[in-house]
Amino acid sequence: MAVNRDKPDRWKEDITRSVDMYNDWFLTFAPEAFRSTRMQTTRDVEDTLKATRNLTDISPTLLKTNPSVLPTLRMSTCPPLAVDRLVGLAGVSRHLVSVMEKHGRLPLRMPTKALDEQLRKIGAIIERMADPDIFVWLSRQEPPSEQDIYRAATSIADRLCGSVANPIIRNAQEQRQLAVIKAWLEARAYRRLAPSDGRFKSMLPGTFTFRLNVPVEQEGKKLPVNIPVDTVVMPKGAGPDAFPLCIEAKSAGDFTNVNKRRKEEAFKMTQLRHTYGDAVRYILFLCGYFDGGYLGYEAAERID
């Protein structure tokens, strides 16, 4: 039985209520979510400044020991450097920069000599372009005061948080959605499993878990891959051959970007059906700015 995908006459009212709910939440809770992230980011920037001797030592050794500092260093220049701009200016491997940015580590198979040379180039660009209005001590003889360091750290933290403001807010909202699901299920005596204890095809009735990796087959590939699903629930009374219910929590703060993301869910549904058949159940728990075009696209893919 469909929940909402076969009831388009309700969508207009649903959209209005969803937007109002998101806006109420944003005004009340989003500033705190952003502020707490900025406080932690400021502490992380202070650690980076300490590791780089207040941005005076960005050596290959430092970058090999602390590869995760690269995003902070990119925001420390004037102007701040996008990943592509750093790759172009330094003349270094995109793969090297990507691994440092996304995973906070170094490539596993890069020759030591080439690695040292490319890290040296990255450090040279950062030192050359360090923002003199933020790192005021770089142009004087005396070392920075604690106030200088804190002021610089908060400025860089603002840049870092500003560049990822939407993901910070979206993550906070999705955490709220998962909390709502958890409260609803536990009020009905469902038992939560740790992701390591959850098995997509063998969950017991009356159990649920979050962030479960569900194995799916891919055409042309022998080994399965895992796709993450926000919430997986095995309903009470489910039969021995029943599939659990997959729930994906999504939020959006404007109508502009949602239609760019709508294919993500359709692709997951395609993979799940290809592996488990048409009996698989997959619904979206939406909050925010999802318009009729988005809802219609997902409904056409038989996503509720």
Burial of 233 (0-12, 13-18, 19+ CB in 10 A): buried
Average pLDDT, the chain: 90
The amino acid sitting at 123 is: G
pLDDT tens sequence across 85-132: 999 999 999 999 999 998 999 998 899 999 999 999 999 999 999 999
Q: Where are the domains of the chain?
A: 35-163, 166-300
245-252 β-sheet, strand order: 191-192, 207-216, 225-234, 245-252, 281-288
> Can you give the pTM of this predicted structure?
0.67
91: left (phi over 0), alpha (psi -120 to 50) or beta: left
What CATH number should be reported for the domain whose range is 166-300? 3.40.1350
**Confidence at residue 65, expressed as pLDDT on a 0 to 100 scale:** 92
**Confidence at residue 167, expressed as pLDDT on a 0 to 100 scale:** 79
Task: Give the residues of the chain that fall short of pLDDT 70.
Answer: 1, 164, 197-198
